[in-house]
Amino acid sequence: MDQDIKEVLISEEAIREKVRELGEILSAEYAGKNPLVICVLKGAAFFMTDLVRQMNIPLEMDFMAVSSYGASTQSSGVVRILKDLDTAVEGRHVLVVEDIIDSGLTLSYLIDLLKRRNAASVKVVTLLDKPHRRTVDLKPDYCGFVVPDAFVVGYGLDYAEKYRNLPYIGVLKPEVYR
């Protein structure tokens, strides 16, 4: 797998350190609130499971899957729920955990949905942000790293379902997907 990577953007150690930092901030923010931490599958799976282990407070976890890119590297703008939550969000403090925000289309749809379901609060923590690619007005409440406009893989992020298990975040060689 390493041979398909052009450049390592964020090392395993840098991710670990950032996750610890975010966990500390979020522990303070959500102390006493029993938050519902929602992982947007599959990309955010590693981030969410590492993050909650750095949150030293009672919380609950749930998982949701929505369609965004498929096997392409462009957002379609069409959001489809592939797996809905098991938990009722009404009155809950919801923390949505994302891998990366690009156009913002997927997440803005999700936030609206959770608000319509009467969550007490909805906040977003994303590991990565590509703010210059945004097509909707959306800012994450908490963000790990801002990344340049390149297609990244690793630590949960895939290309055609591969490379999720890389322990770091890297830029894929363009010839791999061209």
Return the exposure string of 98-125: e unless at least 16 CB atoms fall within 10 Å of the residue's CB, then b. Answer: bbbbbbbbbbbbbbebbeeeebeebbbb
| Element at 160 (helix H, strand E) | none
Contact by Cβ (8 Å): 124, 99: no
Amino acid letter at 79? V
> Could you confirm whether 102 is annotated as catalytic?
yes
- Under the binding rule (CB under 6 A), the answer on residue 104 touching ligand 5GP is yes
CB of 104 to ligand 5GP, least distance (A): 5
Catalytic residue among 84, 102, 141, 149: 102
* From 14-22, 27-35, 49-57, 96-104, span contacting ligand 5GP (CB under 6 A): 96-104
- Under the binding rule (CB under 5 A), the answer on residue 129 touching Mg ion is no
In order of 34, 47, 51, 107, the CA distances from 23 in angstroms are: 15, 11, 6, 21
- Under the binding rule (CB under 5 A), the answer on residue 102 touching Mg ion is no
Which C-beta is closer to ligand 5GP: that of 75 or that of 87? 75
Contacts of residue 29, Cβ cutoff 8 Å, sequence gap at least 6 = none
Residues in 140-159 at the binding interface with ligand 5GP, rule: CB under 6 A: 151-153, 157-159
Which C-beta is closer to ligand 5GP: that of 48 or that of 153? 153
Residue ranges in contact with ligand 5GP by CB under 6 A? 43, 68-69, 75, 98-107, 151-153, 157-159
